[in-house]
Structure 1
């Protein structure tokens, strides 16, 4: 995770008088000329009126187009100026470029203008391209003020350096149109999304058939974008847990170290870690997630700990498979005796204890500015505040990792207690209770981090009338919220709020994977995570 800071520069003043905030209320409140509280999915006024709330119009309006973001490249220290999506400001190009370094091909030389992403050769209305790409940039690429690098921080430079015929450009357009469709519900946007997706898949298959192109940067970035497309789309069965992930792992096994050191690999590392806990696979090569040259090594080092958790889970699954063979009446020659199995279970638990100690030590070394602060209500801790929403999403994934670890330990204790049913082992019961308490603490941490990370409150803990949500944050929160909603140790309020947040990620942020996770996902840690 690149935790270098992005800062917003004051917006360019325009001679036009600001016309005021557009009404975002539901259509019934607009018709009745009443102030709508914009509660989702149904506003309070409609409920009191006794009528169903018709919902909210989603007109894409972008104002203060001159607002720009300066993003520092972690390797060179150079600064790039990135405007919010909207009208281009060609006049700002020269002044913006002076803030970067003069090195050839440097990230800072690119003044990212939404019009730079438009191809006039496309057989579609150019304004559609501008709207789709601008919206996608805003939701997935550009960082917020005082935030980190952005979910797809590598994409502007990669996109602009790729040729017009590149599968990267095609995949970007596919994801951009689909993200806009999930917002606008305009059928033409959906048609364009799936048309570009078809072309991107065809181009990717051609690259995979080629020996030298199969492990190229273009192939990997295309697969990343197609993974995002599938998360937004959210259709299908089990394969919707990042269907391109196995392909990425295969390519990384065949490639040299250059891909691992590429800017886009931070996204790959992040997804490998998050989804290794929610799907039945393990990270093949721990070197893929070793600490990189990061301005904040404290947070980066968590990757190493996460790999150990993943390896522990892999060992646990193998042990559970052996247990099934031991208990199988048809198996006349079990692989190990109950005594041997018990010894292995205790060894696995000891390994988990060591990992938990390592996590605790790691957290204790992190500066307070990179952790969370607590806002109190009526003298009691209520919500957590972070220096950025991206950092909040990061810590939520850390908390989830500990829950997964302790859930695996609890499963081992359940087996041990079953094996010792003839006698009550108080030590085992107390040890299992301790793991449960640790998991409950992490569940509480996630619950208290949701309001800020979802953009519902500001850093003062005040509720924001119009939530500052980004689809990228939804992608980072889907799996942790699924764990909170389905864990058997979660309280009723935690389950309710996690499910509500997943509904918002699906309906408002446009990441429909959240809907599938909420209703169809079956965790490999069942029954600890239902």
Structure 2
């Protein structure tokens, strides 16, 4: 493979319509004749790498066919023409063979750009890592950035090529040198805040996800936190240039994932992160809500570890429930206001599970959704993950308030369970689109192509969709509301991303065995007082009368056991109320004796 910096010909509208452009400036005549607004031509920032290996081969084959056709028309007989064509096919094109014998670093560069560099086709849309190409083509890209890029490229290339090669050692060598070079650059005041330094830190973080071998986010998280501090030092002026804005948005995206997964509060406020750094209104608005969700999660974590039971603190958590519900409603409002190119459609229904193995199935039984663009699908899934987190926060707060009554009897749990089941289904339905299921079913797609990869075939299976999916799949894998079949399928997709797409960290994530929010509620209960005080019993009485939620994956035996447990909890609450009487003191021995008798009476 080779790459070049030649810009694509024609205006963006003609390219999207796939018609020939006369390249008249400032606007082309094709757009003027069809009464369309010409978006103009790509600038130098949009120079892209092209996969010339396959293109050269195709051109050679077309030239051969054309030459053979001309010979056939001039030949005296069909037999002679066939012999000539056969002879021509047996002679390999030496230029193509020479192109295939490229150094590993050039092959790795092209492979990385064709898998991870997503370039926006229009000014108001977003890509991913679009700053990589102009930095590589600059006269002085910076040794620290170039080393960090080479580490990612070689590691990515080695993961896809397979074992039996020395790529892992080469990638680690580049990574070690990149760390030292970046550390030296941070000591230089002029170089520390440059675009190349921030880009190098982002590439180092990506390397951790590509090559991770053990569970833990410390290394990736430390790079993200370093990038956040550097963005803070660069100030607002960084978003005034096209490359600066692309870098800022990339750091903001990584910051959101880091804060949502770690539970840490994002530094600076929502307005500082959004403000004027808006490239696409709908994408930026979604990230605004993501940051608000991260702030709420951090605040709930802090309250759960510090609050003691009191009337004031109960009101504080009830207010927190209302705040979470407000942000969740804002997510729904965002969804309703989306334009047509941000919408998705259900285009297929799949029932087949090969050999009954959900872990190997490409599609989970149910609907399959198609999106207009890969970036659009990633924005939708980030919104869904935020809503799943908000639902868990609401249930956690409700469980704290209504304890010791089972939180699963509260209306908050019933509402959150229904919401989460729908969100999990939506994320699962988006996976086939991102992992190449439509490559053989193109007739089902109506794509806008808002972005394109730097080089290579667009229909080929890419690494970036797997990178985008790692967090949403991990999020639904640990949900209480995910069925066993859905969980098995999700783990299988994470293994596919890790083994076939080269995102090794996905192999670590599928091994996680957590349940949200039940495990967090258990932890919150252990840190809080075991019994509520007398002032809370009016709320307990109202909470225990709430209708229990339906079990989404329980069989009839489990449902009967759940109903028995709910009845036991209601009678336990009645006894506690009577045992306290007017004194406000709880006779724990009487409660324990009653529970033993009652459990024996109900049987297994």
Report the TM-score, using the length of structure 1 for normalisation: 0.70
How many residue pairs align between the two structures?
413
How has the CA–CA distance of structure 1 residues 346 and 529 changed in structure 2, closer, same or farther, with 3 Å as cutoff?
A: closer
Question: How far is 1:527 from its partner?
Answer: 2.1
- 1:400 corresponds to which residue? 385
TM-aligned CA deviation for residue 274 of structure 1: 2.2
Is 1:310–2:310 an aligned residue pair?
A: no
Asked whether 1:264 is paired with 2:247, we answer yes
Q: How many Å apart are 1:260 and its aligned residue?
A: 4.5
Deviation at 1:176, TM superposition (A): 0.4
Distance (whole Å) between structure 2 residues aligned to residue 411 and residue 522 of structure 1: 16
Instruction: After TM superposition, list the pairs within 5 Å mapping 1:2-401 onto structure 2.
Output: 78=43, 80-87=46-53, 127-143=103-119, 150-161=127-138, 163=140, 165-185=142-162, 186-236=164-214, 237-261=216-240, 262=244, 263-285=246-268, 286-290=270-274, 292=276, 296-323=280-307, 326=308, 337-377=309-349, 382-401=367-386
Aligned mates of 2:325, 2:192 — CA distance in 1: 41
Offset of 1:82 from its aligned partner?
Answer: 2.7
In 2, Cα distance between equivalents of 1:187 and 1:356: 49
- Say if 1:178 and 1:232, in contact at 8 Å, map to a contact too: yes
Tell me the secondary structure at the aligned position of residue 369 of structure 2: strand
Cα distance change, pair 256–369 in 1 and its aligned pair in 2 (3 A): closer
Between 314-323 and 205-214, the greater mean CA deviation after superposition: 205-214
1:450 matched residue in structure 2: 431
Measure the CA separation in 2 of the matches of 1:230 and 1:257. 28
Higher helix share: 2
1:414 and 2:407 correspond: no
Is 1:481 the counterpart of 2:481 in the alignment?
A: no
Match runs of 1:488-503 below 5 Å: 488-503=480-495
Q: Secondary structure of the equivalent of 1:277? A: helix
The Cα offsets for residues 360-379 of structure 1, whole Å up to 9 and x where unpaired, read as 11111112331211124399
* C-alpha deviation, 1:198, in angstroms: 1.1
Matched residue SS, 1:469? coil
Answer whether contact 1:299 1:366 (CA < 8 A) is retained. Answer: no
SS in 2 for 1:223: helix
1:404-451 Cα offsets, whole Å, 9 max, x none, are 1111111111212215x3xx999x711221122112211111011111
Q: State whether structure 2 residue 419 is matched by structure 1 residue 438.
A: yes
Alpha-carbon deviation of 1:290? 0.8
Q: Equivalent residue of 1:384, what SS? A: strand
Task: Give the whole-Å Cα distance in 1 for the aligned partners of 2:335 and 2:112.
Answer: 34
Q: Deviations over 1:365-408 (max 9, x none)?
A: 11233121112439997111101223222211211111111111
Per-residue deviation, 1:461: 4.7
Give the unaligned 5+ runs of structure 2: 1-11, 20-38, 57-100, 352-364, 446-457, 523-604
Could you tell which deviates more after superposition, 512-521 or 429-438?
512-521
8 A contact 2:398–2:407 mirrored in 1: no
| 2:478 is the counterpart of 1:515 | no
| Offset, 1:77 | 6.1
Partner Cα distance (2:117, 2:323) in 1:
39
- Inter-partner Cα distance in structure 2 for 1:243 and 1:522: 24
Q: Give the CA deviation at 1:213.
A: 2.8
Say if 2:385 and 2:472, in contact at 8 Å, map to a contact too. yes
Q: Does the aligned pair in 1 maintain the 2:126–2:279 contact within 8 Å?
A: no
CA 1:390/1:430 → structure 2, altered by over 3 Å: closer, same or farther?
same
Of structures 1 and 2, the one scoring higher in RCO (CA 8 A, sep 6+) is 2
Cα–Cα, structure 1 residues 157 and 142, in superposed 2: closer, same or farther, change >3 Å? same
State the Cα deviation string for residues 57-77 of structure 1 (Å, max 9, x = none).
xxxxxxxxxxxxxxxxx9996
Is the 1:152–1:267 contact (alpha carbons within 8 Å) kept by the matching residues of 2? Answer: yes
Alpha-carbon deviation of 1:84?
Answer: 3.2
Distance across 1 between alignment mates of 2:233 and 2:468: 28
What is the CA–CA distance in structure 1 between the aligned matches of 2:286 and 2:226, rounded to whole Å? 25
User: How far off is 1:454 after superposition?
Assistant: 1.6
Change (3 A) 1:388 1:245: same
Cα deviation, 1:282-327, whole Å, max 9, x if unaligned, reads 211223431656564123211111111111111101111114xx3x
Please give the per-residue CA displacement for 1:321-341, whole angstroms capped at 9, x wherever unaligned. 114xx3xxxxxxxxxx43222
Correspondence for 1:25:
none
Structure having the higher Rg:
2
Output one character per residue of 1:185-219: Cα deviation in whole Å (capped at 9) or x when no partner: 25222222111111101101111223343332222
The 1:451–1:89 alpha-carbon spacing in structure 2 relative to 1, beyond 3 Å, is closer
